[in-house]
């Protein structure tokens, strides 16, 4: 009985941390006008696909860096559902507190606003134990992630960083103002920054790479490729690719810069 009570209290603390993490991770976008507008007019098929991607990502985070160290598949699935639920509830409460969810808003608009905002909030909920818990909590699962698991974590970090700026018009404006030489220089800076941060943070398995070139190919170049794919998907989701091909490519490169940094520090953030 005492052990059960302790387990319940521990899970309750985990949910409280999850709510706090949801607020911390989601608050910047909850106070961003572009995100409110996307909730109103975002294509519902793209929104549904986006929610599916977020749900799969949250499950992966619960698998590799979630609430508890010793879990099985079912526990990770429950943790993912709990994080998503916390993300949706926190988003709804905060949007209502800000006066953005009112009786005048129709169900379609309200659901859209909550769903878009729930993405970063769910990230914060599932990662709250590591960010707000004690030192070393959640680290064992991450260390057990193999090479593909490390790439997934890089993708999750890239998605979170890219998602914070992808809805803004500045990504398009910067890409429009850049020349091809600026784009190439930004690619080089992104690769250099990612490479430096990857080795500063220390990804699991990188010590097994015997040659610097091998490590560059396995982590830096692969991570940047993941960051570009994530950037392309985020821009497509928010309808930011309705432009000439050259402008769209430069926008992907621009968003790829914060996405690459997110991929590089995923070991710390995720």
pLDDT tens for 25-42 read: 888 888 888 888 887 788
Residue 131's pLDDT is 58
Higher pLDDT, 128 or 200: 128
* Tens-digit pLDDT profile for residues 69-104: 556 778 788 888 989 999 999 999 999 998 888 777
Residue 205's pLDDT is 47
When the pLDDT of each residue in the chain is averaged and rounded to a whole number, the result is 81
Q: What are phi and psi of 102, to 5 degrees?
A: -125, 165
User: H helices of 216-244, where?
Assistant: 222-237
For the chain, percent of residues with pLDDT exceeding 70: 80
Q: What's the CA gap between 125 and 21, in Å, rounded?
A: 5
Q: What's the CA gap between 186 and 114, in Å, rounded?
A: 34
Whether 158 shows a pLDDT value over 50: the answer reads yes
Higher pLDDT, 202 or 247: 247
Residue linked to tokens 């015997």 = 210
| Residue 167: band (very low, low, confident or very high) from pLDDT cuts 50, 70, 90 | confident
Lowest mean pLDDT among 59-68, 125-134, 244-253: 125-134
- Mean pLDDT (whole number) for 224-240: 93
Yes or no: say if 123 and 158 are a contact pair by the CB < 8 Å rule.
no
Q: What's the CA gap between 174 and 216, in Å, rounded?
A: 28
Residue 56's pLDDT is 93
Yes or no: say if 252 and 234 are a contact pair by the CB < 8 Å rule.
no
Please give the structure tokens belonging to residue 158. 């890239």
- Mean pLDDT (whole number) for 202-221: 64
Residue 11's pLDDT is 67
Residue 146's pLDDT is 73
* Tens-digit pLDDT profile for residues 96-144: 998 888 777 777 888 888 988 998 899 888 887 655 554 445 455 555 5
Residue 130's pLDDT is 59
Q: Which of 173, 197, 195 is nearest to 254 (CA)?
A: 173
The most confident of the ranges 190-194, 208-212, 263-267 is 190-194
Higher pLDDT, 9 or 27: 27
Q: Which of 100, 110, 125, 102 is nearest to 23 (CA)?
A: 125
Residue 135's pLDDT is 46
Q: What's the CA gap between 78 and 61, in Å, rounded?
A: 12
Residue linked to tokens 């992966």 = 60
- Mean pLDDT (whole number) for 194-208: 64
For the chain, percent of residues with pLDDT exceeding 90: 25
- Mean pLDDT (whole number) for 182-207: 78
């Amino acid at each position: 009985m005492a052990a059960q009570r302790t387990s319940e209290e521990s899970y309750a603390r985990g949910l409280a941390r999850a709510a706090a993490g949801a607020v911390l991770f989601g608050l910047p976008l909850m106070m961003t006008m572009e995100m409110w507008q996307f909730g109103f007019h975002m294509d519902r098929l793209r929104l549904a696909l986006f929610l599916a991607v977020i749900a799969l990502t949250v499950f992966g985070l619960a698998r590799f860096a979630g609430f508890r160290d010793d879990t099985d598949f079912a526990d990770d699935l429950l943790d993912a559902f709990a994080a998503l639920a916390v993300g949706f509830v926190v988003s709804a409460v905060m949007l209502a507190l800000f006066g953005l969810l009112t009786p005048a808003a129709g169900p379609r608009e309200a659901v859209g606003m909550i769903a878009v905002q729930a993405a970063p909030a769910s990230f914060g909920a599932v990662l709250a134990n590591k960010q707000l818990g004690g030192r070393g909590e959640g680290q064992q699962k991450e260390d057990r992630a193999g090479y593909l698991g490390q790439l997934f974590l890089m993708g999750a970090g890239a998605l979170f960083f890219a998602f914070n700026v992808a809805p803004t018009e500045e990504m398009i404006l910067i890409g429009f103002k850049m020349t091809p030489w600026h784009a190439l220089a930004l690619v080089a800076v992104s690769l250099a920054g990612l490479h430096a941060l990857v080795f500063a943070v220390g990804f699991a398995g990188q010590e097994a790479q015997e040659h610097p070139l091998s490590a560059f190919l396995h982590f830096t170049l692969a991570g940047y490729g993941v960051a570009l794919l994530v950037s392309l998907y985020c821009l497509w989701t928010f309808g930011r690719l309705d432009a000439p091909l050259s402008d769209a490519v430069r926008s992907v490169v621009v968003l790829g810069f914060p996405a690459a940094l997110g991929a590089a520090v995923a070991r710390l953030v995720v």
